[in-house]
Amino acid sequence: MSVTVGIPRALLYYYYYPQWKTFFDRLGVKTVVSRETTRGILEKGLKSTVDEACLPVKLAVGHVLDLKDRVDYIFLPRIVSTARREYICPKFLGFPDMVRNNIDNLPPLIDNNMDLYRKGSSLYNLFYAVGRQFTRNPARIYMAYKASLESLHSHYRDMEAGRLPVEDGDKPNYGNQGQDGGVHDVTIAVIGHPYNIYDRYISMNMIKRLREYGANVVTADHLPDDVFRREAGKLPKQLFWTLNQRMVGAAFYYFDHPDVDGLIHVASFGCGPDSMTGELIERYARQGSRKPLLNLTIDEHTGEAGMITRLEAFMDMVRWRRQLDDVAATL
């Protein structure tokens, strides 16, 4: 029987899962992904996490619990930095320790460091350390790593081409916006961390609802790195949180893009970087943009009815603003 490695359907899963799966597949290791988020999975995470933790961390703990009795290992890389001279949220850094100290009877955790902060650091360091736990053949590890890189680049190309990682079982299934057969008369940019906007449960199917309301949906992940970094460079000082730099840069870009009619910023309650990001986005909007901006803060108590009401009101505002702009253009 082959060894099984569990991958929680949370946090940076939405960016790196194709790479992780390809790497383990090439080493002959079976991957098992936690089930799609349900209230039960979230409740398990809430019971095993301190109240001060943000919703994404609580949910990630729930996904670890969903896996712990079904796999031989759980893959929880200690993510320090994904780009030179930038950092990820410190909760990513401490997440493996949080899991280890709050959950009993865990299978072994694979928590090797992913740290690209310093010049000369390489993603290969992480994969080599992980691969050594399953094979002593360095050539096999290297070939698995090369194949995983191609999967990652393909994943990013798909997103930049306008697709979103909508989940289908344990396989990324890209749902191309505008192909649901509806009429789309406005374009809405949804700005938020991937684990907040792509998880159907905690986002309450926000993207699907917006499409049903007649909107094309774009996100930060539709933009290549050089675009959001250039836009974030408008700030007087560089943001050293990679994910928040991505969100700010994308928001600035979409505020200035003529085809985008409104923006929704999704943040987690209790997230320090998100609160600062939201303020920067609001200030940019007030400096001259006429596009409507909706700030949504989510936590485990967020109700679906309230979310639907706010989205419907926002869509009405977007269409009203567009009608005014169309009339003004004819004068």
pLDDT digits (tens, 9 = 90+) for 210-258: 999 999 999 999 999 999 899 999 998 888 888 999 999 999 999 999 9
Q: What is the pLDDT of residue 42?
A: 95
Q: What is the pLDDT of residue 170?
A: 43
* DSSP H/E element including 7: strand 4-7
Predicted confidence (pLDDT) at residue 46 exceeds the cutoff of 60: yes
- SS3 for 129? helix
Residue 166: pLDDT band with limits 50, 70, 90: low
Contact 238, 232 (CB under 8 A): yes
DSSP structure string for 267-311: EETT-HHHHHHHHHHHHHHHTT--S-EEEEEE-TT--HHHHHHHH
Predicted confidence (pLDDT) at residue 315 exceeds the cutoff of 70: yes
Backbone angle region of 4, left / alpha / beta, with phi > 0 → left and psi within -120 to 50 → alpha: beta
Mean pLDDT (the chain, rounded): 89
The vertex-254 CA angle with 326 and 89, nearest 5°, equals 155
Helix spans in 132-183 (H): 138-160
Upper half-sphere CA count for residue 294 (Cβ side, 13 Å): 23
Residue 193: pLDDT band with limits 50, 70, 90: very high
Average pLDDT over residues 163-180: 50
Predicted confidence (pLDDT) at residue 82 exceeds the cutoff of 80: yes
For residues 265 and 249, what is the distance between their CA atoms, to the nearest angstrom? 13
Number of H helices and E strands in the chain, helices first, is 12, 12
The first and second tokens of residue 111, run together, are 């928590």
* DSSP H/E element including 319: helix 304-330
Per-residue pLDDT tens over the stretch 106-149? 999 999 999 888 887 889 999 999 999 999 999 999 999 999 99
What share of the chain has pLDDT > 90, as a percent? 67
For residues 18 and 151, what is the distance between their CA atoms, to the nearest angstrom? 6
> For 234, phi and psi rounded to 5 degrees?
-70, -20
Q: What is the pLDDT of residue 38?
A: 95
At position 110, the amino acid (one-letter code) is I
For residues 82 and 88, what is the distance between their CA atoms, to the nearest angstrom? 7
Contact 11, 77 (CB under 8 A): no
Residue 269: pLDDT band with limits 50, 70, 90: confident
Q: What is the pLDDT of residue 124?
A: 93
> Which domains are delineated in the chain?
4-157 (3.40.50), 177-330 (3.40.50.11900)
Average pLDDT over residues 256-281: 90
Q: Which pTM does this prediction carry?
A: 0.90
Per-residue pLDDT tens over the stretch 2-42? 899 999 999 999 999 999 999 999 999 999 999 999 999 99
Give the lowest-confidence range in 93-97, 168-172, 319-323: 168-172
Predicted confidence (pLDDT) at residue 179 exceeds the cutoff of 70: no
